[in-house]
Structure 1
Amino acid sequence: MAASNVILCGICDAQHTSHVADYWCPECDEGLCSTCKNHHGVSKASRQHGIISIDDYKKLPAEICKIEQNCTEHDKKFQMFCPRHDQLCCIMCVSENHKECTGMFLIDEAIKSSRTSTLFDSLEKSLKDIQENIERVVKDREANLVEIKQQHLKSLHNIKDTRQKLNSRLDDLEKHMIDNLNSTETQLKLKIVTLLNKLSEKKNEIEILKTNLMSVKQHGSDLQAFIGSKMLEKDVAEELKYVKNISKDDGFSQFGLKCQIDDKIIDILSNIIRFGSIKIEKSKSPIVIGVGHEKQAQFFTAVQPRSKSIDDITASLIGEFSVLAGKSSSCITGLSVFPDGRMIFADCYYNNRLVIVHNDGTLDCEIPLSPLLPFDVTCIDDKTVAVTTLFQHKVVIVDTENRQVTNAIKTGRCRGITYRQGQLFYCAIEKGIHAINVSNNKVRTIVEDYTIKTDWSYITTSGENIFYTGYGSTVKCYSIRGEKRWEYKDTSILSCAWGITVDQHGIVYVILNRDVVLISADGKKNRTLLTGENGIQESYGIYLHTNKLYVVSFTGQFLQFKMA
């Protein structure tokens, strides 16, 4: 294409006149005005040329416009195509360089059907695949950024919490040391003061003896002086004996106080050179890219970690506490965990509240939601949660810092809820699985499932999959695009499936009244992991956080198990 936006008619220009071109002939590689276009269309040499408007020509990519119509080496028109060399050829090219090539065909035959060929469909499909892959990579990387932010907040909390514990422990040790110092000083002072008091009494006694001695000596008769001196001699002897033995008194010792700091404390000051370390954990991305002509509808698929059997999983109780009681009996129907490790409980029916606690069970805050009845809860970020309501037919968004409802989304009857990459997935009674776009509150149907009839349907996600408990003893797995993976039903094991969570291996944990049941990643096997003998009571809330399993009973008894 010419550098200027104005393209002149090539025929007129050859005749030294200037007319703006209205059309373009790709084969002649020049513009045509309206008059020359008519001549061009009736000329025997060019009547078969496919001309286009100049406006359409300007819309073509620059690389396409630069395509040569003639062979640059022989200055002859391209007539053949060589599949072996993927090259356009003129007659001279064929005779000189492609004598041994097979499968060559005329370009004129091929270009007639080029617009309707499968190549365009294949290219369009490939471009669509590429675009979808890029979009998924963008979403995955954005999710990774969110995850890094969450890990940053969690690490920051861990650092500050450790520092606080260190300060608290050092304060306790310091107080104990100072108390011991004060007590020791008091003991030593008491011993010395006791001796000083005795000596003070002795001084008084000596003064009396001195006075008596002088009185007898100066004023007594000879007989009195004789007998008196003998009497005083005994008293002086007693005092001499006391002075000689005074060194044996405990208060006579030379006392001193010495403060000896424990070597482990000194190690903190001298040997410990850092508080900890920050490391980058790098692993293979949980998605794979799929594009190519040999496959249909290529998408990212979740890459599962190395498979693990449900028979290899063990759980050991490492902690328990009771959720702080409300005004009435607790009815805990939902559980979720913030990025910093705090837990949030939905206390339905009587207390109408959310309860946030630290990982040791101490209370962070309570958020009253009356008259709403919070059924299930999921964390969106470190301060925002989404809550389904039992009878109000809506999902509410709650700012836990301000303890205020910031948004309400009408949904119909909804129960279990979970958050994934900007979307809220929830169980819609007698409708199926729906998703809410958090950015615009738009609701769409993911899975149509009219068998969801129970008030105790819960949901979770892992990778590209959705898992939920349905009617009776059913557990179902769908992709996030609504494609059914598997369905598991066993009335002998799952008489009524309630809370649900899933680990990194795709193994599903379902809570059943007083049991926690495992279902294999392919939905074909089950195993009872925990029972009432392990402390499991009637429970609905279950959650996997790192390598720990959390279970909270309906009455608020919280159990923490270490998974291995």
Structure 2
Amino acid sequence: MASSTHICGICDLRNISKPSKIWCSECDEGLCNACQEHHSLSKATRQHSIIPIAEYSNLPSDIMQISQSCCKHDEKLILYCKDHENPCCGKCAVESHKQCKEIVSLDEIIKNAKTSVSFHETEATLIELIDNISKIRNAHKENLTDVSKKRKAIELEIKKTRLRIDKHLNKMQKTLTDEIHGVCDKESEKLRLSIKTLDGTEHVLSEYQMKIVNIKKYASDIQAFMAIKKIETDVEKEEEYFLSYIPEGKMNIVTINCKIAKPIQAFLNQTNTFGDVGIETTTRSFALSHKKSMQAQMMLPKVHTIAIENITALLHKRVNTVSYNVRGCCILPNENMVFACFDQNTLTFMRSNGSKDATIRLPAAVDLAYLEADKSIAVTSSTETEKCIRIIDLQNKKTKKNILVNTKNFGIAAFHDSLVYCTNSNNIRMISLRDELVKNIVYAEISPFAYVETFQDLIYYTNTKTDDVTCCDMKGIVKWRFKFENVDLIPYGITIDNTGNVYVTTGSNNVIVISPDGKRYKELLSSRDGLRNPIALYYDRKTNTLLVSNRSKDAVVYDIVR
């Protein structure tokens, strides 16, 4: 925002504090009564749309923070770059978008934001998801009641059987009853946890509903345009999680049963168990509401492919990491950097100006991934005693959580609210950060220190055993495989830019870039550009910069020009 919502922006510039009474979305500031009168009479502003400050305050705080002015030049955002999918001011267009082919008026882009397909699709999806959650929750409640009834029926059967047999079976009866209670309680707890998870998801979706209602009522067009993109992404994540919860519209219904052993009445002395407790799971179909996959807002382009022949790297800066055997790195949103130092058993934090910020000890740290949702990083390690993924809080530089995964782990990448990581068990796995459920995605003979990256709904990974780079979908189905045949190159680290080009470090002191279809490649950087046995690299898709860490002592940041 240009100014506080509570203080008149014009008076504040005159060092006068007056409370704002109305909000002008085009000026992006609040106005007091006196300034409002001048604002309504001035030729330049008389046509501006204003709303009472009390109504504007109904907007969520994160929507209010969406500025309508360029944060770099403090000028109004008037243009939209389709190549970078970002609004910009006139100066930005000249300084940073000279090579961009599609610069259009921002007004044309945002004029239908609140009535766009994306807006309506998101609202409809929220309604459907909440309705589906209600159906599943009710089914779980019914199942919970059935389990309780079945438990009582089994207990009654046990007691009736016990009356027909002698004291010899009393001890076995208690053992079986306890077992039934244990199984029932365990399954009931799972159902309660599922209900709790659904309640939490429903609450989040309801908040998005209220947020959209307030955006439609009170947000400016650009705020609505920028906000719905974020909300749409979040809702897609919630929808994806929900659909994975009920694959193909089916869910497991749990019941318990107990079969009394037939020989028990005739052969009391030969029977050592009172009965068998089992879990019977049946599948019930649900008529879930589910529209077609959400259509993207058609006024914005999808990813534009950039020919790798046009990609060049310009030296931006060098950073003295004072680290050895760096296996992983990344650039944070504030342009600070993090390096995983395998030999030194440390995680090194560097400021954007090249000075050291902090160092924390992490045994056998291999790779790391930035988690935007909670401003933290996930770090893998590869020792028998460190079979976990650590979540590091970026604010206090301390471990906030250890996720046990029972494997030695190497490359790691973030994907929505999950992590994709390479293991020493010849597979690539995905773990949900919500409930820590793990599923296998890729089954292959994957080498130690294999690296992985995600882009859109695809997974890319390197393999030094087979000397190739593979692209597959989230089910592990291979889309393409690039083999380094007749080339003295060994693939190590991997990262993806915002157009799908794949950057890979190799065993020949260079970085190559592979086309999005996996058919072509070119050498982008070599030892002539300051590379010395690099493994780790990271592409910052917001700033179009490439961080390449030499295996020891320093790292290099390049500006990628396309």
The TM tier, using the shorter chain, reads 0.3 to 0.5
Please identify which structure carries the higher strand content.
Answer: 2
The higher radius of gyration belongs to 1
Normalising to structure 2: TM-score of the pair? Answer: 0.46
- Bigger relative contact order, structure 1 or 2 (CA pairs below 8 A, ≥6 apart): 2
